[in-house]
Chain A
Amino acid sequence: MEYALTFEQYQEGLEKGKLLGLHCNTCETFTFPPMGTCRNCNGTDLKVAEAGGEGIISTFTVVRVAPEGKRPPYVVAMAELKEGPSVIGNLIDINPDEADMKLIGKSVKLGSQMVEGDVYSSDDCRVITFSLKEG
Chain B
Amino acid sequence: MREVAVLGVSMTKFGVSEKTNLEMFTEAGLEAMSNSNIESKDVEALFFGNCLGDFEEGQMHMAPFAHAELGLPMSAPATRFESACATATVAIRHAALLVGAGVYDVVLAGGTERATKMGTPLATKTFAMATQSQHEARAGLTFPGVFAMAAHMYSSKYGVDLPELKKNMAEVAIKNHYHGTLNPKAHFQKEIDLDTVLDGMMVADPLQLFDCCPFSDGASALVLAEAGKAKDLVKKPIYVAGMGQASAGSLYLQQDVTRVKARETAVSQAYKEAGVGPDDIDVVELHDCFTIAEILALEGFGFYEFGKAHDAAAKRETYLNGKVVVNPSGGLKSKGHPIGATGAGQVTEIVEQLRGECGPRQVEGARIGLVDTLGGDLGTVCNIILRS
List residues of chain A with CB within 8 A of the CB of B142. Answer: 63, 65-67
Query: Does B65 make an interface contact (CB < 8 A)?
Result: no
CA A65 to CA B125, docked complex, whole Å: 10
List residues of chain B with CB within 8 A of the CB of A89. Answer: 139
List residues of chain B with CB within 8 A of the CB of A121. Answer: 133, 137-138
* CB atoms of A85 and B252 under 8 A apart: yes
List residues of chain A with CB within 8 A of the CB of B207. Answer: 61
Return B17 CB to nearest CB of chain A, in Å. 22
Q: Do A101 and B156 contact each other (CB < 8 Å), given the known contacts A76-B140, A86-B255? A: yes
* CB atoms of A68 and B140 under 8 A apart: no
Q: Do A127 and B152 contact each other (CB < 8 Å), given the known contacts A61-B204, A85-B252? A: no
* CB atoms of A120 and B156 under 8 A apart: no
List residues of chain A with CB within 8 A of the CB of B149. Answer: 59-61, 76-78
Query: Does B141 make an interface contact (CB < 8 A)?
Result: yes
Partner of B156 from A74, A86, A99, A104 at Cβ < 8 Å:
A104
List residues of chain B with CB within 8 A of the CB of A44. Answer: none
Partner of A64 from B122, B128, B203, B252 at Cβ < 8 Å:
B203
* CB atoms of A60 and B152 under 8 A apart: yes
Name the CB-closest residue of B to A77.
Answer: B149
Return A127 CB to nearest CB of chain B, in Å. 5
CA A125 to CA B252, docked complex, whole Å: 19
CA A68 to CA B122, docked complex, whole Å: 5
* CB atoms of B128 and A61 under 8 A apart: no
List residues of chain A with CB within 8 A of the CB of B59. Answer: none
Point out which of B140, B155, B207 has the most chain A C-beta atoms below 10 A from its C-beta.
B140
* Chain A residue total in the interface (Cβ 8 A): 38
* CB atoms of B156 and A88 under 8 A apart: no
Name the CB-closest residue of A to B133.
Answer: A121
* CB atoms of B205 and A99 under 8 A apart: yes
* Chain B residue total in the interface (Cβ 8 A): 40
B195-235, CB < 8 A from A: 201-207
Point out which of B139, B204, B207 has the most chain A C-beta atoms below 10 A from its C-beta.
B139
* CB atoms of A88 and B141 under 8 A apart: yes
* CB atoms of B255 and A125 under 8 A apart: no
B102-130, CB < 8 A from A: 120-122, 124-125, 128-129
Name the CB-closest residue of A to B203.
Answer: A65
CA A104 to CA B206, docked complex, whole Å: 14
* CB atoms of B203 and A127 under 8 A apart: no
Return A100 CB to nearest CB of chain B, in Å. 8
* CB atoms of B156 and A65 under 8 A apart: no
Return A125 CB to nearest CB of chain B, in Å. 6
* CB atoms of A101 and B252 under 8 A apart: no
* CB atoms of B134 and A7 under 8 A apart: yes
29 contacts between A and B (CB under 8 A): A35-B249, A39-B249, A58-B255, A59-B149, A59-B150, A59-B153, A59-B156, A61-B149, A61-B204, A62-B204, A63-B140, A63-B145, A64-B203, A65-B120, A65-B144, A66-B121, A67-B137, A68-B124, A70-B140, A76-B145, A85-B253, A86-B255, A88-B251, A88-B252, A101-B152, A105-B156, A115-B138, A120-B129, A125-B138
- Kindly list the 4 A-B residue pairs having the minimum CB-CB distance in the complex, ordered from nearest: A67-B125, A61-B148, A59-B153, A68-B121
Apart from A39-B253, A67-B125, A127-B139, 13 more pairs, CB < 8 Å: A33-B135, A39-B249, A59-B149, A60-B149, A63-B141, A63-B204, A66-B140, A69-B125, A70-B140, A76-B145, A88-B252, A89-B139, A121-B137
